[in-house]
Structures are given as structure tokens and as C-alpha cells.
């Protein structure tokens, strides 16, 4: 049969939708949709470690001994912050996922549609947990590399540097998943171990006194957790650097100025004491330190003053 037999008709050369789908898969590979489970594996641990090391080595090799070297430390800090912010973004998505699970739990009516939707949302939550943990691994490795190359400890300028990796993705039931998530958050934000609260003045800079006293406490309580007010200078910054150097877990209680205004430091004092530390260390400072020491004594918590009267 020829085109003449068909009255000059020639078959259309337009490609079908199936052709376009196959061509896309050949070019880009398969990608799960937004509402589809993602079966692809997480990156291998050794590959992650090597990738972070390569990023920092490349930046240092490229910018070191050039006119851009003064900017190098800030740029290296930004690498860790990139993963820190990515983890925080995923954490917000995880909060939304939790609300969606709660809503679907209330809406369960025995139908297959509602049940399947809840299973999908729960699986999505588990994936978000794994992604958040991966970003925290990248951030922690970046923090270690930052300290290696600059000699300074890496700290986020907002948010907490916590790690959720002990929350596994082996859970299936939605209620178990949410309960485990709540337990995990509490354990991460308030680790086990004796708590020592530290409050110091902004103008107190005797680092030897602070380190000596904290070393004494650490010897007695090697699993201690340091609580402090996260001041940008002075005694509390010294205490934070001591914790970095000694690898002691620390929790920063920053004043919430937007919410509490001028009362923020005193509300922060209350929050630290609600944890019921086994002891309080106070250096010379202001009425904030006096308020902290007075409230601790009323709760029966021993107060250790260093560097003179507070």
C-alpha cells in the first residue's frame, strides 16, 4: 500500500504521550511524585563524609593565600548553616505532617480510602525524619571541618544544634510514630545527665576561673549537661567554649526578647531552673545573676559563686 492508494494521505508524525514519558525517563531517570513514596536509598555514610571533606578542602585550597582569604571563615561557616537551615525547613514540614496525621486519625471511618491516606502520610513522615537526620549529619560533619580549618567552634546563629538520629524509621503505626517523635524531641532537647546551670556577667572575662570551676564539676559529674544563657560575650560565652572543648553537652537558654521584652532574662532564669539543675554556678554580673541565685536558693539548689560576689 502506498500513499497514492490512500488518496495522498500520509500518517501523522506527531509523537504520542507514551513516547514523551519514555523519553523523559531515559533522559532524567524515574523520580517519585510529590505524593508518592520514595524508595531510593539515602547516601552512603562514607560518601557523605568524603563529600563534606572535599567541599571544605576545595574552598580552603581555592581561597587561601588570595585576597578572598579574609572572607574564608564566613564562607566556611555558611556551609554548615546551609545544612542547618535545610534541616530546620524539613523540621517544619515534619510538624505539618504531624498535624495531617492527627487530622486523618480523627477522620478514620473504617474506609479503605482514609486508611490508605493515613498510611501514605505516615510513610511520608518517616521519610522526612530520615531526611532531617541526614541534614543534621551533614551539618555536624561541617561543624567538625569548620573547627579543623578555623580553630573555632561552629554554632548556628539561630535555632538549636540538636540531633535526632536516634529516632528510627522502623515505625509503621501512625500513633506509635507520633509518640516516638514526641519522646525523641524531649530526649534530644533535654539530654539525660546531671544538669549544671551557669549564669555570668557580660563583662566577666576571667576564663581561667570559669574553666577551673567547670573542670572540677566535670570531674565529679563526667556526664553533666551544661545549661547557660548563650550571651554573646563574657562569662557565658567562656562557659560555652569550655563545653565545646571538653565535648560536654550544652543547652542554650536564649532570652526571648520579642515575647518578654525587658523581662526576658528573668523569664530565661525561670526556664533554666524549671529543669531542676543539681547546682548553679554564678559569676559577678548584674541583677540578672542575683535573681538567678536567689531563685535557685529558694528551690534548694546549691549556688556556687566564682570570681567574687555576684
pLDDT band, residue 167 (cuts 50/70/90): very low
Q: Exposure string (b/e) for 259-287, b if CB count within 10 Å is 16 or more?
A: eeeeebbbebbeebbeeebebbbbbbbee
Do the Cβ atoms of 60 and 149 come closer than 8 Å?
A: yes
pLDDT band at 260 (very low <50, low <70, confident <90, very high): confident
Work out the percent of the chain whose per-residue pLDDT is above 90: 48
| Global pTM value | 0.57
Instruction: State percent of the chain over pLDDT 70.
Output: 78
> Phi-psi category of 92—alpha, beta or left, where left has phi over 0 and alpha has psi -120 to 50?
alpha
How crowded is residue 129: how many other Cβ atoms within 10 Å of its Cβ? 24
Q: Please name which of 170, 165, 156 lies closest in space to residue 188, comparing C-alpha atoms.
A: 165
Least confident of 144-158, 166-180, 198-212: 166-180
Residue 267 is placed in which grid cell? 523569664
137-166 per-position pLDDT tens digit: 999 999 999 999 999 888 888 766 766 665
pLDDT category at 82 given cuts 50, 70, 90 is: very high
Which runs of E-coded beta strand occur in the chain? 195-199, 225-228, 249-252, 279-282, 303-305
Distance CA 194, CA 216 (A): 14
Phi then psi dihedrals of residue 109, to 5 deg = -125, 15
Amino acid at each position: 500500500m502506498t500513499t497514492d492508494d490512500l488518496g495522498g494521505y500520509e500518517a501523522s508524525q506527531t509523537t504520542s504521550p507514551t513516547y514523551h514519558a519514555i523519553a523523559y525517563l531515559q533522559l532524567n531517570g524515574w523520580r517519585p511524585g510529590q505524593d508518592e513514596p520514595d524508595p531510593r536509598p539515602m547516601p552512603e555514610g562514607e560518601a557523605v563524609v568524603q563529600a563534606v571533606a572535599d567541599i571544605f578542602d576545595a574552598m580552603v585550597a581555592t581561597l587561601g593565600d588570595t585576597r578572598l582569604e579574609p572572607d574564608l571563615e564566613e564562607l566556611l561557616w555558611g556551609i554548615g548553616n546551609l545544612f542547618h537551615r535545610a534541616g530546620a525547613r524539613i523540621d517544619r514540614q515534619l510538624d505539618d505532617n504531624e498535624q495531617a496525621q492527627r487530622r486523618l486519625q480523627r477522620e478514620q471511618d473504617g474506609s479503605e480510602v482514609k486508611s490508605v491516606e493515613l498510611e501514605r502520610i505516615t510513610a511520608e513522615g518517616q521519610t522526612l525524619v530520615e531526611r532531617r537526620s541526614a541534614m543534621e549529619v551533614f551539618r555536624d560533619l561541617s561543624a567538625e571541618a569548620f573547627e579543623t580549618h578555623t580553630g573555632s567552634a561552629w554554632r548556628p546563629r539561630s535555632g538549636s544544634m540538636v540531633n535526632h538520629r536516634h529516632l528510627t524509621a522502623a515505625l509503621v503505626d501512625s500513633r506509635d510514630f507520633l509518640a516516638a517523635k514526641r519522646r525523641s524531641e524531649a530526649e534530644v532537647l533535654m539530654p539525660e545527665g546531671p544538669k549544671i546551670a551557669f549564669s555570668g556577667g557580660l563583662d566577666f572575662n576571667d576564663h581561667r576561673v570559669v574553666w577551673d570551676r567547670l573542670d572540677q564539676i566535670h570531674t565529679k559529674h563526667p556526664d553533666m549537661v551544661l545549661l547557660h544563657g548563650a550571651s554573646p560575650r563574657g562569662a557565658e560565652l567562656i562557659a560555652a567554649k569550655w563545653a565545646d572543648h571538653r565535648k560536654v553537652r550544652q543547652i542554650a537558654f536564649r532570652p526571648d526578647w520579642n515575647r518578654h521584652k525587658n523581662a526576658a532574662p528573668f523569664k530565661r532564669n525561670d526556664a533554666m531552673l524549671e529543669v531542676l539543675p543539681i547546682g548553679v554556678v554564678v559569676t559577678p554580673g548584674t541583677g540578672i545573676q542575683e535573681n538567678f541565685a536567689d531563685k535557685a536558693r529558694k528551690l534548694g539548689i546549691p549556688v556556687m559563686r566564682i570570681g567574687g560576689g555576684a
